[in-house]
């Protein structure tokens, strides 16, 4: 019997043992979608989620441990005999959760701290892309305010300024003029608003943006369906940037050739580059890509599932997600076999709309009662809700995402807005034009 066959047999045997206990780390809509996908696995008997949320609590047991409290999470996994841990947020990965769990002999899906730098350091990501020929915007990085300002002044506007570290989605400024650029550079380099770090100054690119997430282990890459996020708060892509107001799959403006190019030239090349650099990936690689007039280029990498993209992508997965997560967790530590990982996807499209608290992303009230969710024929992923006196109430800026599928985007859109009309709450708003890029002819 060859090693490959032995691996297959091991995979088969483990997939037949249907008593798995899983810990999901995180708590937003993305984690709810992960928990939902795991709950469809016949192998999974029990799901814990730390810290979880009110919606997740309907499908898993919430555990009151912070997603960055690595020692407490590791102790919990040891005490409960957790078979597999799945990590949602980048903050947990950057806190070294994967390294700590592996040291304790615990099985975990996610990248090591060193590999997570593909997201946590813009400069590292740029260096990898340039070294391995992955298409991206030209750049220079600076730690000195004066030098950065002189460089930006010598170039055309808008200027793209990126803080070199995790900044909760607030570390990128597209400065329209020198005044805006100076303010942003001052925040990042002089006042150290996000901590001590460099700034990457990038060429400004144009074109539609899209998200390409893949499961990755070493140099092996398994693509997920493409999706698109909607970052602005209001219809017509107006208003402030948010954590995402909606998403959909099935992007008519990205051709199969563009997709094949992105897979080969961006995701596979990056995965091979990370192996060469001695920090192989073993989780999800998210390519935030742009289709520029010069071809597909990388805007950013994330080392985790995207939010809200995960909420529209995972409902399309036909395969058992436990096999994928465990297969990658095993392969990352030199056991198991790639043959367990064969994601199959529904030939449909999905669309999801976020219901957010009025005022978000600025200040907003919490505690408004939400009714009608039990009548909704759609997936509802909770983002910021809680139970108070037996009632479901708002507890965050983005509150929940309603996701429907369809044969095409028009059908999915009609369904999702009709289901949303069954949900009642005085303090929620949502965009009515999700997927407009796909529907404009």
Which range, of 22-30, 59-67, 198-206, 246-254, touches ligand AMP by CB under 6 A?
198-206
**Dihedral sign computed on CA atoms, order 251, 252, 253, 258:** positive
Kindly tell me which of 231 and 272 has the beta carbon lying closer to ligand AMP.
231
- If you ran DSSP here, which 8-state letter would residue 176 be given? S
Q: Does 160 bind ligand AMP (CB under 6 A)?
A: yes
Residue 307 binding partner per list ligand GLY, ligand AMP, none, with a CB distance cut-off of 5 to 8 Å that depends on partner kind:
ligand GLY
Binding positions for ligand GLY, 211-240, rule CB under 6 A = 229
* Interface residue with ligand AMP, options 36, 202, 258, 259 (CB under 6 A): 202
Looking at beta carbons only, is 298 or 312 nearer to ligand AMP? 298
**CB-based contacts of 374: which residues, under 8 Å, 6+ apart?**
none
* Of 35 and 251, CB closest to ligand AMP: 251
14 close to 37: Cβ distance less than 8 angstroms: no
Q: At a CB cut-off of 8 Å and minimum separation 6, what does 225 contact?
A: 249, 250, 313, 316, 345
HSE, CB side, 13 Å, CA atoms: give it for residue 103: 11
- Taking CB under 6 A as the criterion, the residue among 8, 149, 172, 317 binding ligand AMP is 172
Please pick, from the candidates 5, 45, 75, 204, the single residue that binds ligand AMP as defined by CB under 6 A.
Answer: 204
Helix (H, G, I), strand (E, B) or coil at 346: coil
What sign for the dihedral angle of Cα 116, 119, 120, 126? positive
Given ligand AMP, ligand GLY, none, residue 182, with its beta carbon under 5 to 8 Å by kind, binds: none
Does 306 interact with ligand GLY (rule: CB under 6 A)? Answer: yes
Q: How many residues bind ligand AMP (CB under 6 A)?
A: 13
Contact flag: residue 302 with ligand GLY (CB under 6 A): yes
Residue nearest to ligand GLY (CB): 306
Q: Residue 119 interacts with ligand GLY (CB under 6 A)?
A: no
Part of the chain binding ligand AMP (CB under 6 A), chosen from 105-113, 201-209, 341-349, 402-410:
201-209
The 8-class DSSP code of residue 156 comes to P
Q: Cα separation of 413 and 420, whole Å?
A: 11
CA angle 304, 129, 164 (to 5 degrees): 65
Residue number with CB closer to ligand AMP (204 or 253): 204
Greatest alpha-carbon pair distance for the chain in Å reads 68
CB under 5 to 8 A by kind: which of ligand GLY, ligand AMP, none does 209 bind?
ligand AMP
Number of residues lying near ligand GLY (CB under 6 A):
6
Contact call for residues 64 and 93 (beta carbons, < 8 A): no
300 part of the interface to ligand AMP, by CB under 6 A: yes
The reply to whether 90 sits near ligand GLY by the rule CB under 6 A is no
Residue 307 touching ligand GLY (CB under 6 A): yes
Please say which residue, 114 or 172, places its beta carbon nearer to ligand AMP: 172
Q: What is the distance between the alpha carbons of residues 387 and 153, in angstroms, rounded to a whole number?
A: 52
Quick check: 349 and 240 in contact, CB under 8 A? Answer: no
- Which stretch in 40-48, 202-210, 344-352, 432-440 sits in contact with ligand AMP by CB under 6 A? 202-210
Q: Are 416 and 406 in contact (CB under 8 A)?
A: no
In whole angstroms, give the CA distance from residue 334 to residue 328: 10
252-291: contacts with ligand AMP (CB under 6 A): 288
Tokens 């005085």 belong to 426
What sign has the CA pseudo-torsion 36, 37, 40, 46? Answer: negative
235 in contact with ligand AMP (CB under 6 A): no
- Min dist. Cβ of residue 227 to ligand GLY (A): 9
For 17-54, b where at least 16 C-beta lie within 10 A, e where not — what string?
eeebbbbbbbbbbbbbbbbbbbeebebbeebbbbbbbb
Q: Is 397 among the residues that bind ligand GLY (CB under 6 A)?
A: no
CB of 300 to ligand AMP, least distance (A): 3
CB of 200 to ligand AMP, least distance (A): 9
Contact positions toward ligand GLY, by CB under 6 A? Answer: 229, 244, 302, 306-307, 309
Contact positions toward ligand AMP, by CB under 6 A? Answer: 137, 160, 162, 172, 174, 202-205, 209, 288, 299-300
């Amino acid at each position: 019997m060859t090693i490959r066959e032995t691996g297959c047999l091991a995979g088969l045997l483990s997939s037949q043992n249907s008593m798995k206990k899983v810990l999901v780390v995180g708590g937003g809509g993305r984690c709810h979608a992960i928990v939902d996908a795991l709950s469809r696995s016949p192998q999974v008997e029990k799901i814990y989620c730390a810290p979880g949320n009110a919606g997740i609590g309907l499908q898993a047991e919430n555990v009151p441990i912070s997603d960055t409290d690595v020692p407490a999470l590791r102790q919990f996994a040891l005490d409960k005999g957790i078979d597999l841990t799945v990590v949602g947020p980048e903050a947990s990965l950057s806190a070294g959760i994967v390294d700590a769990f592996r040291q304790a002999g615990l099985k975990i899906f996610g990248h090591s701290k060193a590999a997570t730098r593909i997201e946590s350091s813009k400069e590292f990501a740029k260096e990898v892309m340039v070294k391995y020929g992955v298409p991206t915007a030209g750049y220079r990085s600076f730690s000195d305010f004066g030098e950065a300002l002189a460089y930006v002044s010598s170039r055309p506007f808008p200027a793209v300024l990126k803080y070199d570290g995790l900044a909760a989605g607030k570390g990128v400024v597209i400065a329209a003029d020198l005044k805006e650029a100076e303010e942003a550079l001052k925040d990042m380099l002089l006042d150290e608003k996000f901590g001590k770090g460099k700034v990457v100054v990038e060429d400004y690119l144009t074109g539609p943006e899209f998200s390409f997430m893949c499961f990755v282990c070493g140099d092996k890459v398994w693509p997920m369906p493409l999706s698109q996020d909607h970052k602005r708060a209001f219809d017509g892509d107006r208003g402030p940037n948010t954590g995402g107001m909606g998403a959909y799959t099935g992007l008519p403006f990205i051709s199969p050739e563009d997709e094949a190019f992105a897979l080969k030239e961006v995701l596979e090349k990056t995965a091979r580059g990370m192996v060469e650099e001695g920090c192989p990936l073993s989780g999800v690689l998210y390519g935030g890509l742009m289709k520029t007039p010069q071809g597909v280029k990388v805007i950013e990498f994330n080392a985790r599932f995207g939010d809200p993209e995960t909420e529209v992508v995972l409902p399309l997965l036909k395969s058992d997600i436990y096999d994928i997560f465990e297969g990658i967790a095993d392969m990352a530590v030199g056991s198991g076999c790639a043959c367990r990982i064969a994601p199959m996807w529904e030939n449909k499209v999905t669309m999801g709309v976020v219901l957010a608290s009025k005022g978000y992303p600025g200040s907003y009230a919490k505690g408004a009662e939400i009714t009608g969710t039990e009548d909704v024929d759609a997936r509802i992923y909770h983002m910021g809700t809680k139970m108070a006196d037996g009632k479901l109430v708002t507890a965050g800026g983005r509150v929940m995402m309603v996701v429907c599928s369809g044969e095409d985007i028009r059908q999915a859109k009609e369904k999702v807005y009709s289901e949303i009309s069954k949900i009642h709450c005085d303090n929620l708003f949502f965009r009515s034009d999700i997927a407009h890029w796909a529907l404009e002819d």
